[in-house]
Amino acid sequence: MTTGNADEDDRRPGGRRPGQSGTKDAILAAAREQFAAKGYAGATFRGIAAQAGVDPALVRHFFGTKDQLFAATLHLPPEVLHRLQQAFECAPEDMGERFARTYLGLWEDPATGAALMAIMRTALTNDQGADLLRDFLQGRLVEQVASSLGADRPRLRALLAATQLVGAVMARYVVRIEPMASLAIDDVVALLAPNLQHYLTGDLPDHAHRP
Protein backbone atom coordinates (compact mmCIF):
# COMPACT_ATOMS: atom_id res chain seq x y z
CA MET A 1 0.00 0.00 0.00
CA THR A 2 1.36 3.32 -1.04
CA THR A 3 1.77 5.84 1.71
CA GLY A 4 2.92 8.81 -0.36
CA ASN A 5 0.46 11.64 -0.81
CA ALA A 6 1.13 15.02 -2.33
CA ASP A 7 -0.64 17.00 0.34
CA GLU A 8 1.25 15.20 3.12
CA ASP A 9 4.36 17.05 2.01
CA ASP A 10 2.58 20.39 2.02
CA ARG A 11 3.84 21.71 5.32
CA ARG A 12 2.11 24.67 6.85
CA PRO A 13 2.84 26.53 10.02
CA GLY A 14 0.73 25.12 12.76
CA GLY A 15 0.83 22.73 15.61
CA ARG A 16 -1.54 22.05 18.40
CA ARG A 17 -3.84 24.91 19.19
CA PRO A 18 -3.62 25.69 22.90
CA GLY A 19 -6.81 25.32 24.84
CA GLN A 20 -8.68 23.52 22.07
CA SER A 21 -10.33 20.30 23.27
CA GLY A 22 -11.61 17.46 21.15
CA THR A 23 -9.37 18.26 18.20
CA LYS A 24 -8.07 14.72 17.86
CA ASP A 25 -11.58 13.26 18.02
CA ALA A 26 -12.81 15.76 15.44
CA ILE A 27 -9.99 14.80 13.08
CA LEU A 28 -10.68 11.11 13.59
CA ALA A 29 -14.40 11.56 12.91
CA ALA A 30 -13.67 13.56 9.76
CA ALA A 31 -11.13 10.97 8.61
CA ARG A 32 -13.65 8.15 9.05
CA GLU A 33 -16.15 10.00 6.88
CA GLN A 34 -13.56 10.87 4.24
CA PHE A 35 -12.15 7.34 4.04
CA ALA A 36 -15.68 5.89 3.96
CA ALA A 37 -16.78 8.25 1.17
CA LYS A 38 -13.61 8.39 -0.93
CA GLY A 39 -11.58 5.32 0.01
CA TYR A 40 -7.95 5.31 1.04
CA ALA A 41 -6.58 6.71 -2.22
CA GLY A 42 -9.11 9.55 -2.50
CA ALA A 43 -8.94 10.86 1.06
CA THR A 44 -6.32 13.55 1.72
CA PHE A 45 -4.92 15.35 4.74
CA ARG A 46 -6.26 18.65 3.38
CA GLY A 47 -9.77 17.30 2.87
CA ILE A 48 -9.83 15.71 6.32
CA ALA A 49 -8.47 18.88 7.93
CA ALA A 50 -11.02 21.04 6.11
CA GLN A 51 -13.90 18.87 7.31
CA ALA A 52 -12.57 18.89 10.87
CA GLY A 53 -11.98 22.64 10.74
CA VAL A 54 -8.28 22.43 11.60
CA ASP A 55 -4.94 23.10 9.97
CA PRO A 56 -3.49 20.10 8.03
CA ALA A 57 -0.42 20.31 10.27
CA LEU A 58 -2.60 19.23 13.20
CA VAL A 59 -3.61 16.05 11.37
CA ARG A 60 0.05 15.18 10.96
CA HIS A 61 0.77 16.22 14.55
CA PHE A 62 -1.74 13.79 16.03
CA PHE A 63 -1.51 10.89 13.58
CA GLY A 64 1.80 11.12 11.71
CA THR A 65 1.32 9.47 8.33
CA LYS A 66 -1.72 8.71 6.25
CA ASP A 67 -1.27 5.00 7.02
CA GLN A 68 -1.31 5.69 10.77
CA LEU A 69 -4.42 7.86 10.47
CA PHE A 70 -6.14 5.22 8.37
CA ALA A 71 -5.32 2.50 10.91
CA ALA A 72 -6.75 4.67 13.71
CA THR A 73 -10.06 5.08 11.85
CA LEU A 74 -10.46 1.31 11.55
CA HIS A 75 -10.65 0.69 15.28
CA LEU A 76 -14.27 -0.01 16.09
CA PRO A 77 -15.94 2.02 18.82
CA PRO A 78 -16.24 -0.12 21.99
CA GLU A 79 -20.02 0.14 22.02
CA VAL A 80 -20.31 -2.00 18.87
CA LEU A 81 -19.61 -5.28 20.64
CA HIS A 82 -21.41 -4.14 23.78
CA ARG A 83 -24.61 -3.46 21.85
CA LEU A 84 -24.33 -6.76 19.99
CA GLN A 85 -23.97 -8.57 23.30
CA GLN A 86 -27.08 -6.84 24.65
CA ALA A 87 -29.02 -7.90 21.54
CA PHE A 88 -28.95 -11.51 22.71
CA GLU A 89 -30.12 -10.79 26.24
CA CYS A 90 -33.62 -11.89 25.26
CA ALA A 91 -35.81 -14.94 24.82
CA PRO A 92 -34.52 -17.36 22.13
CA GLU A 93 -37.58 -16.75 19.93
CA ASP A 94 -36.74 -13.02 19.74
CA MET A 95 -33.09 -13.40 18.72
CA GLY A 96 -33.59 -12.98 14.97
CA GLU A 97 -35.47 -9.71 15.31
CA ARG A 98 -33.12 -8.35 17.98
CA PHE A 99 -29.98 -9.27 16.01
CA ALA A 100 -31.29 -7.64 12.83
CA ARG A 101 -32.44 -4.47 14.58
CA THR A 102 -29.24 -4.07 16.59
CA TYR A 103 -26.83 -4.69 13.73
CA LEU A 104 -28.70 -2.43 11.31
CA GLY A 105 -28.99 0.14 14.09
CA LEU A 106 -25.21 0.24 14.33
CA TRP A 107 -25.10 1.24 10.66
CA GLU A 108 -27.86 3.81 11.08
CA ASP A 109 -26.11 5.43 14.07
CA PRO A 110 -23.58 8.07 12.91
CA ALA A 111 -21.37 7.31 15.92
CA THR A 112 -20.74 3.73 14.77
CA GLY A 113 -21.90 3.69 11.15
CA ALA A 114 -18.99 5.75 9.83
CA ALA A 115 -16.44 3.33 11.30
CA LEU A 116 -18.29 0.30 9.91
CA MET A 117 -18.63 1.96 6.50
CA ALA A 118 -14.92 2.80 6.44
CA ILE A 119 -14.05 -0.83 7.16
CA MET A 120 -16.48 -2.21 4.59
CA ARG A 121 -15.43 0.14 1.80
CA THR A 122 -11.71 -0.24 2.35
CA ALA A 123 -12.04 -4.02 2.67
CA LEU A 124 -12.97 -4.04 -1.01
CA THR A 125 -9.75 -2.36 -2.14
CA ASN A 126 -7.23 -2.50 0.71
CA ASP A 127 -5.53 -5.48 2.39
CA GLN A 128 -5.52 -3.83 5.81
CA GLY A 129 -9.24 -3.14 5.59
CA ALA A 130 -9.92 -6.72 4.43
CA ASP A 131 -7.94 -8.11 7.36
CA LEU A 132 -9.84 -5.95 9.83
CA LEU A 133 -13.22 -6.90 8.36
CA ARG A 134 -12.27 -10.59 8.56
CA ASP A 135 -11.16 -10.12 12.16
CA PHE A 136 -14.41 -8.36 13.05
CA LEU A 137 -16.63 -10.96 11.38
CA GLN A 138 -14.72 -14.10 12.33
CA GLY A 139 -13.10 -13.22 15.60
CA ARG A 140 -15.66 -10.87 17.10
CA LEU A 141 -19.12 -10.88 15.55
CA VAL A 142 -19.36 -14.65 14.98
CA GLU A 143 -17.81 -15.52 18.34
CA GLN A 144 -20.01 -13.00 20.14
CA VAL A 145 -23.16 -14.44 18.59
CA ALA A 146 -22.06 -18.07 18.98
CA SER A 147 -21.39 -17.60 22.69
CA SER A 148 -24.99 -16.42 23.15
CA LEU A 149 -26.61 -19.45 21.51
CA GLY A 150 -27.77 -22.57 23.29
CA ALA A 151 -28.43 -24.56 20.11
CA ASP A 152 -26.13 -27.09 18.45
CA ARG A 153 -23.37 -25.92 16.10
CA PRO A 154 -23.42 -22.35 17.45
CA ARG A 155 -20.50 -21.08 15.38
CA LEU A 156 -22.01 -22.30 12.11
CA ARG A 157 -25.34 -20.71 13.06
CA ALA A 158 -23.65 -17.42 13.92
CA LEU A 159 -21.73 -17.44 10.64
CA LEU A 160 -24.87 -18.06 8.58
CA ALA A 161 -26.69 -15.21 10.32
CA ALA A 162 -23.70 -12.86 9.98
CA THR A 163 -23.33 -13.51 6.24
CA GLN A 164 -27.02 -12.66 5.73
CA LEU A 165 -26.58 -9.36 7.56
CA VAL A 166 -23.33 -8.50 5.77
CA GLY A 167 -25.08 -8.97 2.42
CA ALA A 168 -27.96 -6.80 3.58
CA VAL A 169 -25.77 -3.92 4.74
CA MET A 170 -23.72 -4.13 1.54
CA ALA A 171 -26.88 -3.71 -0.53
CA ARG A 172 -28.46 -1.07 1.74
CA TYR A 173 -25.58 1.11 2.86
CA VAL A 174 -22.55 0.51 0.65
CA VAL A 175 -23.83 -0.16 -2.88
CA ARG A 176 -27.28 1.32 -2.14
CA ILE A 177 -29.36 -1.02 -4.29
CA GLU A 178 -33.05 -0.11 -4.53
CA PRO A 179 -35.50 -0.80 -3.03
CA MET A 180 -33.28 -2.07 -0.20
CA ALA A 181 -31.57 1.30 0.23
CA SER A 182 -34.77 3.25 0.82
CA LEU A 183 -36.89 0.76 2.78
CA ALA A 184 -37.86 1.80 6.30
CA ILE A 185 -35.65 0.17 8.90
CA ASP A 186 -38.65 -1.65 10.41
CA ASP A 187 -39.41 -3.20 7.01
CA VAL A 188 -35.82 -4.40 6.57
CA VAL A 189 -35.84 -5.93 10.05
CA ALA A 190 -39.14 -7.67 9.34
CA LEU A 191 -37.76 -9.13 6.11
CA LEU A 192 -34.49 -10.36 7.62
CA ALA A 193 -35.65 -11.55 11.04
CA PRO A 194 -37.32 -14.85 9.99
CA ASN A 195 -34.24 -16.15 8.19
CA LEU A 196 -31.98 -15.02 11.00
CA GLN A 197 -34.24 -16.71 13.53
CA HIS A 198 -34.05 -19.96 11.57
CA TYR A 199 -30.26 -19.79 11.34
CA LEU A 200 -29.92 -19.08 15.06
CA THR A 201 -32.43 -21.50 16.55
CA GLY A 202 -34.05 -23.62 13.81
CA ASP A 203 -33.20 -27.04 12.44
CA LEU A 204 -30.13 -27.27 10.19
CA PRO A 205 -29.45 -30.08 7.71
CA ASP A 206 -27.73 -33.04 9.32
CA HIS A 207 -24.85 -32.87 6.83
CA ALA A 208 -24.04 -29.26 7.73
CA HIS A 209 -21.08 -29.69 10.05
CA ARG A 210 -19.31 -27.21 12.28
CA PRO A 211 -16.58 -25.40 10.28
Looking at residue 2, its pLDDT comes to: 46
DSSP secondary structure letter of residue 92: G
Per-residue model confidence as pLDDT tens digits over 37-96: 787 778 899 999 999 999 999 999 999 988 888 878 877 777 888 898 899 999 999 999
- Domain shared by 37 and 134, yes or no: no
- Where a domain ends, among 22, 44, 72? 72
**Residue 21, in any domain of the structure:** yes
Looking at residue 190, its pLDDT comes to: 98
**Residue 208, in any domain of the structure:** no
User: What type of residue sits at position 4?
Assistant: G
Which of 135, 160, 141, 74 has the alpha carbon at shortest distance from 103?
Answer: 141
Q: How confident is the model at residue 139 (pLDDT cuts 50, 70, 90)?
A: confident
| Cβ neighbour number for residue 55 with a 10 Å cutoff | 18
**Residue 161, in any domain of the structure:** yes
Q: Is 207 helix (H, G, I), strand (E, B) or coil?
A: coil
Of 109-123, 143-157, 187-201, the range with the highest mean pLDDT is 187-201
- Domain shared by 192 and 147, yes or no: yes
| Cβ neighbour number for residue 19 with a 10 Å cutoff | 5
Q: How confident is the model at residue 141 (pLDDT cuts 50, 70, 90)?
A: confident
Mean pLDDT, the chain, whole residue set: 83
Residues ≥6 apart with Cβ < 8 Å to 25 = none
**Residue 31, in any domain of the structure:** yes
> CATH number, domain at 51?
1.10.10.60
Looking at residue 3, its pLDDT comes to: 47
For the ranges 28-42, 89-103, 150-164, which has the lowest average pLDDT?
28-42
Looking at residue 144, its pLDDT comes to: 82
- Domain shared by 40 and 105, yes or no: no
Q: Would you say the C-alpha torsion 50, 52, 54, 56 has a positive or negative sign?
A: negative
When divided into structural domains, the chain yields a total of 2
> CATH number, domain at 191?
1.10.357.10
How far apart are alpha carbons 132 and 134 in whole angstroms?
Answer: 5
DSSP secondary structure letter of residue 182: G
- Higher-confidence position of 50 and 147: 50
Burial class (CB in 10 A: 0-12, 13-18, 19+), 46: middle
User: What type of residue sits at position 12?
Assistant: R
Q: What percent of the chain has pLDDT over 90?
A: 45
**Residue 210, in any domain of the structure:** no
- Domain shared by 118 and 134, yes or no: yes
- Domain shared by 142 and 111, yes or no: yes
In the chain, what are the helix, strand and coil shares in percent, each to the nearest 5? Answer: 70, 0, 30
Backbone angles phi, psi at 22, to 5 degrees: 80, 10
- Domain shared by 112 and 36, yes or no: no
Q: How confident is the model at residue 9 (pLDDT cuts 50, 70, 90)?
A: very low
- Where a domain ends, among 26, 43, 72? 72
Q: How confident is the model at residue 12 (pLDDT cuts 50, 70, 90)?
A: very low
Looking at residue 14, its pLDDT comes to: 44
- Domain shared by 65 and 84, yes or no: no
- Where a domain ends, among 72, 94, 124? 72
Angle at 106 between CA 22 and CA 36, to 5 degrees: 65
- Domain shared by 104 and 195, yes or no: yes
What are the start-end ranges of the H helices in the chain? 23-42, 45-52, 56-63, 66-73, 79-87, 95-108, 110-123, 127-134, 142-146, 154-169, 185-201
Query: What residues make up the domain containing 90?
Result: 79-201
**Residue 62, in any domain of the structure:** yes
**Residue 172, in any domain of the structure:** yes
- Domain shared by 12 and 88, yes or no: no
Is pLDDT of 13 > 60?
no
